[in-house]
Amino acid sequence: MKKVLMVGTGDVGKHLLEFAARDEPNIKWIVGDVDEERARWACNNAEIGAAHHGKHPKFKPIQVDLFNIEETTELIQSEKPDAIINCTVLHTWHLIRQLPDELYAKISSAGLGAWLPCQLALGLNFSKSIHESGQSPYFINTSLSCLTNPVMGKVGLAPTIGIGNVDLIAPAVLTYVAQQKGIERSRVETFQVCHHQHWVYPREAGYQEGAPYFLKILIDGEDVTSEFDTDEVMYNSVKLYGTGIGFTTVSASSALKNLKAMIYDQNLRTHSPGPNGLPGGYPVLLNASGAEVILPNEITIDEAIKMNVESGKLDSIEEIKEDGTVVFTDYAYEIMKDSLGFDCKSFHAWESKELAFEQMACFKQLADKYIKN
């Protein structure tokens, strides 16, 4: 039986447990959260719901504080999981939607990458604990992996793979193309290189258009890309999703698919962000060896990486330096400084915890002014 350690029972984590409870009986799940009671409730709900499907999984809820690297390391050494999934984040992006529309739009235009310390801090500590444990589990990082995975990679702690982002767009493209052609979706195949920016541009206020990407569309194995306006395909596919955070069910499906592909050596060709610390998203092959980028002849790996680096500049990040220093774009820096009073042009990966709490304090001060409880 395979063993998986998942930490974080927010939206994605809870959905993942619900799907896992109904799907795969041969995985032992250890479910951690900084709030053990929240983990226990999530486990109970998934176990109870699975009874309707004749499934009887058993999840083990525990308390995990990822900022306690020593205790987390000891947990990994004790449990020896085959795979680890990080579903934690300190500050969820959608909180800014509670602000007045004009203020939300201004902060949104900075890009989600402007909140990178909040997205990075917990996963970085988790990755360090994995490294120090001496174990070699697959590490699936769910938190803004287009941007966090490459930062971790620069400090020698790259996750195996991410989820969502390109893997939210890719199945939507399959669906959109099938709808446009009036055919079964199973006949459609794509190769896509694209960044988180392509997911948020059609959905959130203030995002800039024009980020580079690669899209190849095949029907029954034949290249039909020229039959489509690919800009329209990219945009309209994302617009198939409703507003709000309902898409987190798809993110959870992405995580479960990636997990099973690796622990069961399925040799699955799919799409995912941040493979082995690369920026942005790619077509990948997932199997027991981990993640490998698989590109068609029309594009090289260097071209794909360059596309995603350039796209990242439209998602707040000017540069991720070789030593793990992150440099914000000028526009993101100015917006965060002016709107929240967060004055930071660059930071090193290991400064993310301190800066994350500073960002959250800035947001709380703003929220207390505008949001009525």
Q: Is the pLDDT of residue 128 over 60?
A: yes
Average pLDDT over residues 55-75: 97
pLDDT in tens, 286-296: 999 999 999 99
pLDDT of residue 355: 98
Six token digits for residue 355: 């800066």
- Domain spans, the chain: 166-245+278-314
pLDDT of residue 220: 98
Amino acid residing at 179: Q
pLDDT of residue 205: 83
Q: Is the pLDDT of residue 157 over 60?
A: yes
* 187 to 150, 219, 268, 322, 358: CA distances (angstroms): 33, 5, 17, 42, 49
Question: Which pairing describes strands 2-7 and 83-86: parallel, antiparallel, or unpaired?
Answer: parallel
pLDDT of residue 177: 98
* 190 to 30, 170, 176, 268, 284: CA distances (angstroms): 35, 7, 12, 14, 12
pLDDT of residue 132: 98
- Within its chain, how far is the Cα of 338 from the centroid? 28
Q: Is the pLDDT of residue 276 over 90?
A: yes
Portion of the chain with pLDDT greater than 70, in percent: 99
Portion of the chain with pLDDT greater than 90, in percent: 92
pLDDT in tens, 9-59: 999 999 999 999 999 778 999 999 999 999 999 999 999 999 999 999 989
CB 12 within 8 A of CB 251: yes
DSSP 29: E
Average pLDDT over residues 142-150: 97
Average pLDDT over residues 233-246: 95
pLDDT of residue 150: 98
Q: Is the pLDDT of residue 372 over 70?
A: no
Q: How many CA atoms lie within 13 A of 181 on its CB side?
A: 21
Distance between CA atoms of 165 and 311, rounded to whole angstroms?
A: 13
Question: Which pairing describes strands 222-223 and 214-219: parallel, antiparallel, or unpaired?
Answer: antiparallel
85 has which bridge partners?
6, 140
Element (H, E) at 20: helix 11-23
Per-residue pLDDT band for 308 (boundaries 50, 70, 90) equals very high
Q: Is the pLDDT of residue 373 over 80?
A: no
Q: Is the pLDDT of residue 162 over 90?
A: yes
CB 86 within 8 A of CB 140: yes
pLDDT in tens, 72-81: 999 999 999 9
Extract the runs of DSSP E, i.e. beta strands, from the chain.
2-7, 27-33, 59-63, 83-86, 138-141, 188-193, 214-219, 222-223, 268-273, 281-287, 290-293, 317-320, 325-328, 346-348
Average pLDDT over residues 335-344: 96
Q: Is the pLDDT of residue 324 over 60?
A: yes
Question: Which pairing describes strands 214-219 and 268-273: parallel, antiparallel, or unpaired?
Answer: unpaired
Mean pLDDT of all residues belonging to the chain: 96
The pTM is what?
0.96
Distance between CA atoms of 80 and 219, rounded to whole angstroms?
A: 43
Q: Is the pLDDT of residue 2 over 70?
A: yes
